[in-house]
Every structure is written in C-alpha cells, then in structure tokens.
Amino acid sequence: MSDQAFWRWAAEDPERLALVAPDGSEVRAGALLSRCNQVARALEALCEPGDVVAMAFTNEPAVYELALAVFQAGIYLVPVNWHLTAPEIAYILKDCGAKALFCSPTMAPICAAACDEAGLAERYCSGELPASGGFARFAGFGADLPVAPPERRGAGGIMNYTSGTTGQPKGVRRTLPPAPPEPVASAYARFLQVFRITPGDGVHIVVSPLYHTAVLYFSLNNLHLGNPLVIMDKWTPDAFLERVERHGVTNSHMVPTQLVRLLNQLGEDPGLRDRYDLSSMKHMIHSAAPCPVPVKHAIIQWWGPVLWEYYAATEGGGTVVSPEEWLKRPGTVGRPWQTAEIAIFDEDGDRLGADEPGLVYIKMAQGFEYHRDKAKTEQAHRTDGYFTVGDIGYLDEEGYLFLCDRKADMIISGGVNIYPAEIESVFITHPNVADVAVFGVPDADWGERVHAVIEPQGVSVEAADGEAIVAWARERLARYKCPRTVDFIAEMPRDPNGKLSKRKLRDPFWTDTGRAI
C-alpha cells in the first residue's frame, strides 16, 4: 500500500471492513468513503479554505464521516469535550469561529444552548432529532450530493483546545500544508511505524473519548493504514477484553488509569486472566499520565511485552519507548522520536546536564501557535524553537527521558520540591486504594503540606484507615513525601478516558483555607 490514505484504499477495496460501531454493526470502506465525500462537498459549500467546524459527537461512526471529510476539505475540525457546560462550549465556538457544530443526540440540549449563546445557526445532530434546538439531521448533510470526491480538495487538520492549568482553554493551531490530502494523511499514518505498526496488519480498538487528541489521531492513522477500527462508547475491563478476543484486536491507545482498573478487576476476579484470549494484542500504547512502575510490570506479566509508551502533548512531542527498552530502564518515557528533540532547562533558561531535573522542552519539525493568543504562544517557546508545556523531568546519560511531574502540580514544602506523581505511584499499589490524587494545600508553617484524596477499594469511605495507609507508604517513601492529611472520596472526578480533574479537589483548599472534602 504505497499511498497510506483511506480515500485511496477504500476506493480500491470498497468491501473491506472499516469500522465496527459500538452496537456491533459493521461499516464497509466504500460506504464510509461515499458518505465522507458527500459531507466534504457540503462543507465545501459552507466553508472557505482554513475555516473551522466543531463536533461534539460521542464515540460513533459519524466522527469518522466528518473527520475524513474535513481532512480532504482544507479546513479545521475542533473536537469538543462532551463533558463541558453550554457556556464553556459557547466560548470555544466563538473563539475558533466555527461555521457549524455537529453533535450527538445526548449532547443536543447543551449544544443548542451553546450555539444560541455563540450566535451559531448551522447545527446538525446525528441520530434522532431533538424536539427543539433548531438542529438539522447530520444524515441529511450532503445526502443529495454526488458520492465522488469533492471538486476542491486540500489537506485539513484538527485544532484541539487544551484545558490549561489557568484561564480559558486555547486552540492549538498548525498551518495547513498546501498539498493534497493523501500525502499528508500518509505522513501522519507513518508515525505509527515508531510503534512497529504497519499497514493492514491488524485491528485498532477505540477505548477512550474521541475528543482527545491522541485517541482521534491514533484511530485515524490506523484507518489510513488499512487497519479497521472497533469503537467502544463506554469502556469497562470486561467489555474491552471481550472485544479484543472477538475481533482479534492488535493495537490500542490507553491511559494508565485504564491499566490500573484492569488490574483491580483482575484482583477481584482472578479468573479474568484465563477467560479471554489476548494473544492477538501486539501493541498496547499508553500515555497522557505517568504510569506507576509496578502497574506496568504487572500488565507485562499478564499480556507479555506489548506495552509501548510515549510522551507528548496536544502541542506536540515527543519520545517513545519500546517494551524491551522500558524493562531495562523502568520508569522512562523513552528517547526522542525521529522528528523531535528534547532538552532540559532550568528556570533561568540554562541547559541542564544528565540526571538534573528541570523543565522539559521539545522541538519539532512542525511548529504551532495558540489560536488568537500570541502572548501565550511566545511564553511557551524559547527563541531557539523549543517549547514547554510545564512538565518537569530529566534525561539520563543515554538520553532517556524520565518525568517527575507537572510544574503546576509540584509541591514546595519548606523549600523542598515534592512531586505528587511519585507519591501517587506508590499509593496506587496499596490493596485498599482504588484511585488517589496527591497535591499541596496551604500550611502556615511550611507554605504547603502534602495532602492525599483516596478512593478506597474493598472498604467503605467510612471504614477506610488513612493512618494505616500512610504508615504503609512510609516504608516505601521518605517521610517528608508522605501525606500529612488524607481524605477519602466515594469516586474520583475523572472523565471516561481516565483523566483526573485534580483542580476540582485542590481548588477548594486554596479558595477557602482549611475546608475539607
């Protein structure tokens, strides 16, 4: 397959499987190609090159109908997190200048309010139309147009909005290349070769929300390689394992929380290990948060050496580490991939040597800007082209990157830097800890003290014993790193892909000092 682009191979092999929807229905390549061509023609009439449309689809085939259309229509697609409120969505619609919003029926009420606030009339809904809200059917968008490729074809792209640590989210925008969509899609798809994923060699399963940068890109890149997609709309350990066996899944993209929950399920149900045949899995890729070393070791013992890890951000990346490399250097997130450079600088901008923690900076072949925020763009970049997203880490003598934590999450207690991620990676291995968040809270003497919020496992919130868990941790961590206060919570505030909303736990302590959860 010389041209690794969906539009080309789908035209040559229209009966080939492209997607398996969450309900188990199958979509053939020819049907998906025809539909994305119709949508692209409709977008051509609605948008000028470089314009923006937004989507708030849940995990469903409509995501790919729209994305594959955008990527050949020379415009941008802004995926919207479907956990946002109407005012938050309205802000994004206004900030990006969206020409239309496409959403799922479950999102229609919130999206209608957001469109009203943003003054956006062009709004489309997949599935059954709501009784109100002014939506047209997405199924009808371009349905009367030819199924041949659009007349005006050009490479499009995705503009994701970063959540940020402070202030409003910002769109990460890259210049669209003046090229046909096929070579650009092929270049993106070839990125999977760093994980040894090759064209047409397997099946990719989507296990997280498709509004996330990596989830959408990894699935699209697999599709361009000719690897069919199995889409999950709600992830659970059993449902995931069952689909791996049923569809012969070979690769996926996860976050560490999902790996932890798989191990927790295994602890409650040891028969899980033998119930499903996972021999098809060859490349389980994970990122987005630090993965505790014991967790990764346990998954490798269960699945074999199939865990690949990389470090990147919405702004770009990054590093990659194979299972074999990681087993020799547990904890590393790898070395730079071919088109990236990694360097560590201190607060004064001086480059640091091996094993010296500092701000992690990345340099890529393709740059980016924060949409409509020149100051933030300049703040993130050095004059030599390196940029940072605020992570702290160090490079070892061989150039392998080890992450410590986010700068924004680092605790400074009595002048000592403490990294919550290190503490969390220990606590998560305690048998009575299902989930944990560690952060700094105000302290009159020390400036900050280490505080933990724990979601208990095997015991109720009322029966959980914080002192016992901390005592256990002191055998594995220096005393100054261990939390001096602990709260328990019934369920940690995470979104479905496992990303923790730590600010929801931390902010009350800083806005109302001394307030408990």
Residue 473 belongs to a domain = yes
Q: Mind listing the pLDDT tens digit for each residue in 452-493?
A: 999 999 999 999 999 999 999 999 988 889 999 999 999 999
Which candidate, 378, 370, 413, 408, places its Cα nearest to that of 392? Answer: 408
Least confident of 205-209, 218-222, 441-445, 470-474: 441-445
What confidence score (pLDDT) does residue 498 get?
A: 66
Other C-beta atoms closer than 10 Å to the C-beta of 341 total 12
Residue 140 belongs to a domain = yes
Instruction: Please indicate whether residue 517 or residue 244 has the higher confidence score (pLDDT).
Output: 244
Is 70 exceeded by the pLDDT of residue 24? Answer: yes
User: Do 145 and 41 contact (CB within 8 A), yes or no?
Assistant: yes
- Domain boundary (160, 188, 206) is at 206
Q: Mind listing the pLDDT tens digit for each residue in 263-272?
A: 989 988 999 9
The gap from C-alpha 391 to its chain's centroid, in whole angstroms, comes to 16
Task: Say whether both 460 and 489 belong to one domain.
Answer: yes
What confidence score (pLDDT) does residue 497 get?
A: 57
User: Do 454 and 488 contact (CB within 8 A), yes or no?
Assistant: yes
Residue 1 belongs to a domain = no
Residue 516 belongs to a domain = no
**For the residues of 334-384, what is the DSSP string, one character each?**
BEE-TTEEEEEE-TTSPBP-TT--EEEEEEESS--EETT-HHHHHHHB-TT
What confidence score (pLDDT) does residue 449 get?
A: 93
Task: Say whether both 361 and 494 belong to one domain.
Answer: no
Task: Say whether both 28 and 92 belong to one domain.
Answer: yes
Is 50 exceeded by the pLDDT of residue 341? Answer: yes
- Domain boundary (168, 191, 206) is at 206
Task: Say whether both 128 and 82 belong to one domain.
Answer: yes
Q: Mind listing the pLDDT tens digit for each residue in 139-165?
A: 999 999 999 999 999 999 999 998 654
Work out how many domains the chain is built from and give that number.
Answer: 4
Average pLDDT score over the chain: 92
What confidence score (pLDDT) does residue 163 get?
A: 63
Task: Say whether both 394 and 428 belong to one domain.
Answer: no
Is 80 exceeded by the pLDDT of residue 7? Answer: yes
Task: Say whether both 71 and 122 belong to one domain.
Answer: yes
pTM of the model as a whole: 0.86
- What is the share, in percent, of the chain residues with pLDDT greater than 70? 97
- What is the share, in percent, of the chain residues with pLDDT greater than 90? 74
Task: Say whether both 167 and 157 belong to one domain.
Answer: yes
- Domain boundary (366, 383, 409) is at 409
Task: Say whether both 64 and 113 belong to one domain.
Answer: yes
Task: Say whether both 270 and 390 belong to one domain.
Answer: no
* CA–CA gap between residue 437 and residue 433 (Å, rounded): 11
**Cα separation values, 65 from 44, 51, 414, 445, Å:** 15, 18, 54, 57
Task: Say whether both 196 and 282 belong to one domain.
Answer: no
Residue 212 belongs to a domain = no
**Overall average pLDDT of the 33-38 stretch:** 98
The first and second tokens of residue 339, run together, are: 């088109």
Question: Which of 41-50, 381-390, 419-428, 469-478 shows the highest mean pLDDT?
Answer: 41-50
Pairing of strands 391-395, 161-162: unpaired
Task: Say whether both 202 and 160 belong to one domain.
Answer: yes
Residue 214 belongs to a domain = no
Provide the strand spans (E) within 118-165.
Answer: 123-125, 136-137, 157-158, 161-162
Helices marked H in 284-335: 293-303, 323-328
User: Do 174 and 367 contact (CB within 8 A), yes or no?
Assistant: yes
**Cα separation values, 390 from 10, 170, 222, 380, Å:** 41, 15, 30, 9
Is 60 exceeded by the pLDDT of residue 424? Answer: yes
Which candidate, 260, 336, 322, places its Cα nearest to that of 295? Answer: 260
Q: Which helix (H) or strand (E) holds 507?
A: helix 502-511
User: Do 172 and 226 contact (CB within 8 A), yes or no?
Assistant: no
Residue 185 belongs to a domain = yes
What lies within 8 Å, CB to CB, of 269 at 6+ separation is none
User: Do 232 and 239 contact (CB within 8 A), yes or no?
Assistant: yes
* CA–CA gap between residue 423 and residue 466 (Å, rounded): 15
Domain coverage including residue 369: 329-409
Residue 62 belongs to a domain = yes
CATH number (domain holding residue 388): 2.30.38.10
Task: Say whether both 12 and 139 belong to one domain.
Answer: yes
The first and second tokens of residue 127, run together, are: 């599935």
